Amino acid sequence: MQKASLLKWNKGGFKNPLTRARGLGAGHGAVHHWVMQRLSAILAVPLTFWLCAAITGHVYSSYASFTAWLSQPCNAILMALSIITFFYHACIGMQVVIEDYCHNELGKVIKLAALRIVMFAGAIASLFAVLKIAI
């Protein structure tokens, strides 16, 4: 019983159920979050096919031929779009996992901040590598 009293929605005995539910459900930006996750997944499907075809076509290529291929504008743009889409979709998915399964509020905030920093840094580093080859 003592563990249940530590939960944030059980503070106080005479609360209205609506008062307890405020801030706990999917009432904030859940629809936008859900739509963005589905849109990024839809965009990731053709980009994944393109990326797999492009990489398998250059398995036995030299570094010089691959960088020459990636320096073409269409390929560089598709690669940059793939990077942005994959990192964004991964960030949204991991955010949902952290929000659903991390019950410590401070731990949740720290993990979400670390997630955003790591994903942003990874995307920037990847885009920098593509731009360095393309330009």
* pLDDT-derived band at 33, boundaries 50, 70, 90: confident
Rg (alpha carbons) of the chain, rounded to whole number? 22
pTM: 0.78
Least confident residue range of 3-7, 42-46, 88-92, 94-98? 3-7
CB 111 within 8 A of CB 98: yes
CATH topology of domain 28-134: 3 helical TM bundles of succinate and fumarate reductases (1.20.1300)
Whether the predicted pLDDT of 24 surpasses 80: no
- CA–CA dist 64, 68 (Å, integer): 6
Side chain identity, residue 49 = F
